[in-house]
């Protein structure tokens, strides 16, 4: 840990106005943290037709996409607890995925090239479910049973559904493309209306 930067952050926090730090101050802190190698998780708010998304990334790739139903504080608490307390708002670090998300929502992108950090996909089966889901093509759907089979446990349909309900990276890991046997939509981490929107966007 960089003691000098930690001290500066603490002193800055003690003297901040009620409105919080200015965007310029946050940008400078993020740049310094990155330069000194102590920025483990960068996050930013990204506008979308489904509401503002909180997107976070580590040096390994995108680690979290959260709908506005999840408060920013709750998202940052999980990131700090489960990945690293070195979390800072750094929009510039998220520019590549922000552009890909914009292109996707405009109908100009059918796949994401950004790398994924699976750190929040705890448990071997859960990670296999998410990785199988990540391979479902644009405009395609699979059933929960098919995803369970691709994850190596054909009988674990309920566990597959429960796992997808806690997908830490909706849209990027397209759990909206997983439906019930027979075609019913099933549940969705962001609510059924968002699932309907995403499937309609992809022509389903």
Examine the pLDDT at 10 and tell me if it is beyond 60: no
| pTM of this prediction exceeds 0.85 | no
Reported as a single tens digit per residue, the pLDDT across 86-101 is 999 999 999 999 999 9
Q: In angstroms, what CA-CA distances link 50 with 23, 40, 97, 99, 197?
A: 25, 27, 16, 16, 8
Instruction: Say what the pLDDT of residue 183 is.
Output: 81
Instruction: Say what the pLDDT of residue 21 is.
Output: 47
Q: How many domains does the chain have?
A: 2
Question: Can you list the positions of beta strands (E) in 27-141?
Answer: 41-46, 53-58, 61-66, 87-89
Residue 80 CB-density burial (10 A; 0-12 exposed, 13-18 middle, 19+ buried): middle
Position with higher pLDDT, 29 vs 193: 193
CATH number for the domain spanning 28: value is 3.30.160.70
What is the domain range of residue 33?
3-105
- State how far the Cα of 136 lies from the Cα of 66, in Å rounded to an integer: 20
Instruction: Say what the pLDDT of residue 16 is.
Output: 43
CATH number for the domain spanning 161: value is 1.10.10.10
Catalytic positions are 175
Reported as a single tens digit per residue, the pLDDT across 116-164 is 999 999 899 999 999 999 999 999 999 999 999 999 999 999 999 999 9
Q: Are residues 187 and 145 located together in one domain of the fold? A: yes
Q: Are residues 99 and 139 located together in one domain of the fold? A: no
Q: Are residues 12 and 101 located together in one domain of the fold? A: yes
* 15 part of a folded domain: yes
Instruction: Say what the pLDDT of residue 41 is.
Output: 96
Q: Are residues 56 and 150 located together in one domain of the fold? A: no
Q: Are residues 92 and 169 located together in one domain of the fold? A: no
Reported as a single tens digit per residue, the pLDDT across 35-70 is 545 589 999 999 999 999 999 999 999 999 999 999
Q: Are residues 73 and 22 located together in one domain of the fold? A: yes
């Amino acid at each position: 840990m960089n003691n000098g930067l930690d001290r500066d952050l603490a002193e800055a926090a003690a003297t901040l106005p009620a409105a919080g730090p200015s965007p310029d101050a946050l940008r400078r802190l993020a740049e310094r943290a990155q330069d000194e190698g102590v920025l483990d998780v960068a996050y930013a708010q990204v506008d979308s037709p489904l509401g503002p998304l909180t997107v976070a990334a580590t040096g390994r790739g995108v680690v979290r996409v959260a709908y506005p139903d999840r408060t920013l504080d709750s998202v940052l608490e999980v990131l700090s607890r489960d990945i690293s307390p070195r979390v800072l708002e750094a929009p510039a670090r998220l520019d590549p995925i922000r552009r890909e998300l914009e292109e996707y929502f405009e109908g100009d992108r059918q796949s994401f090239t950004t790398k994924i950090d699976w750190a929040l996909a705890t448990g071997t089966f859960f990670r296999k479910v998410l990785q199988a889901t990540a391979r479902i093509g644009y405009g395609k759907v699979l059933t929960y049973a098919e995803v369970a089979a691709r994850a190596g446990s054909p009988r674990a349909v309920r566990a597959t559904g429960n796992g997808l309900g806690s997908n830490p990276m909706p849209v990027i890991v397209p759990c909206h493309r997983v439906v019930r046997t027979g075609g019913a939509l099933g549940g969705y981490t962001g609510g059924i209306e968002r699932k309907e929107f995403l499937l309609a966007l992809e022509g389903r």
